[in-house]
């Protein structure tokens, strides 16, 4: 795992080599606070909890996680440094894992910085802290899935813009998969088992189950399985590039 740690340190430090990290964190915190206190009507509801905060996470991550991951491979391919990486005595899976872990750690930092919201609702009332904790864990798992998906797409192009657009588009499909609008369209031409399969792929639905206060095994398995599958696709894409 030493090689993975080396890649992790390199990638995590790269986020802070420019002002991009600070800008991202400020934007994330501003949006999170705005969605919680303004859009969700926190003060109008008269209930001190973070349900409004977590409700918007799938939509925030839909855009913000691809923004974190778009540079992971697209920038390497654009600058040509991927050729250097391929000549190092490091396995492709170690590079992929190290890069993804760095992005996931950065997402964790963003979530940790929202902890004052948790403190605030405890000052204002008596929220169910078990529900809030499980929601944070679920949010981090969902962020990992968004990042793994975006990283796999980033490995397919040299353009960060295309990587961002592609990852956002695919992520949008995963978020919308469980909505009635999508299910009704699929039901018109697909048999029942396909409809159920599409419904089961919804990020939003799985995350909602977790924010109800229960870390359900099916939802955890879904996010972990998707992470593993996307990382495997990422490794395959890099191996093809290395072979070429």
Q: What is the pLDDT of residue 82?
A: 66
Calculated CA dihedral for residues 70, 74, 75, 80, nearest 10 degrees:
170
CA 70 to CA 46: how far, in whole Å?
A: 40
| pLDDT tens digit sequence for 6-35 | 889 988 988 888 788 888 899 899 988 888
Band of pLDDT at residue 215, cut at 50, 70 and 90? confident
CA 141 to CA 219: how far, in whole Å?
A: 10
CA 80 to CA 148: how far, in whole Å?
A: 22
**Going by C-beta distance under 8 Å and a sequence separation of 6 or more, which residues neighbour residue 156?**
163, 166, 237
Q: What is the pLDDT of residue 99?
A: 92
| pLDDT tens digit sequence for 141-194 | 999 999 999 999 988 888 888 889 999 999 998 988 878 778 887 878 778 778
Please tell me the least confidently modeled range out of 42-51, 122-131, 208-217: 42-51
Which residue bears the tokens 């919201």?
117
| pLDDT tens digit sequence for 78-126 | 666 666 666 777 788 888 999 999 999 999 999 999 999 899 889 888 8
Torsion sign over Cα 168, 171, 172, 175: negative
CA 182 to CA 129: how far, in whole Å?
A: 34
Q: What is the pLDDT of residue 143?
A: 95
Q: What is the pLDDT of residue 80?
A: 65
pLDDT at position 199 over 70? yes
Which residue bears the tokens 């991550």?
61
CA 158 to CA 28: how far, in whole Å?
A: 26
| pLDDT tens digit sequence for 40-75 | 777 667 677 888 889 889 999 999 999 888 887 777
Q: What is the pLDDT of residue 239?
A: 81
Tokens standing for residue 35: 């969605």
Which residue bears the tokens 């391919």?
77
For the chain, how big is the Rg over CA atoms in Å? 19
CA 26 to CA 74: how far, in whole Å?
A: 24
Which residue bears the tokens 């050729």?
83
DSSP string, 202-220: -HHHHHHHHHTT---HHHH
């Amino acid at each position: 795992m030493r090689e993975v740690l080396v890649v992790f340190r390199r990638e995590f430090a790269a986020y802070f080599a420019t002002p991009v990290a600070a800008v991202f964190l400020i934007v994330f915190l501003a949006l999170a606070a705005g969605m919680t206190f303004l859009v969700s009507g926190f003060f109008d509801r008269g209930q001190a909890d973070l349900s409004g905060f977590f409700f918007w996470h799938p939509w925030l991550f839909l855009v913000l996680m691809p923004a974190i991951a778009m540079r992971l491979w697209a920038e390497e391919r654009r600058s040509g440094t991927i050729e250097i990486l391929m000549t190092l005595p490091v396995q492709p899976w170690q590079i992929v894992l190290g890069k993804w872990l760095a992005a996931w750690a950065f997402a964790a930092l963003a979530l940790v910085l929202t902890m004052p919201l948790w403190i605030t609702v405890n000052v204002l009332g008596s929220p169910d802290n078990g529900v809030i904790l499980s929601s944070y864990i679920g949010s981090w798992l969902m962020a990992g899935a968004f990042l793994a998906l975006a990283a796999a797409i980033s490995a397919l192009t040299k353009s960060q813009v295309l990587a961002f657009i592609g990852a956002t588009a695919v992520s949008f499909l995963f978020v919308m998969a469980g909505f009635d609008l999508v299910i009704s369209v699929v039901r018109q031409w697909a048999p029942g088992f396909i409809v159920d399969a599409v419904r089961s792929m919804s990020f939003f639905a799985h995350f909602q189950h977790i924010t109800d206060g229960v870390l359900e095994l099916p939802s955890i398995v879904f996010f972990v399985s998707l992470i593993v599958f996307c990382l495997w696709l990422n490794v395959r894409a890099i191996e093809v590039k290395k072979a070429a």
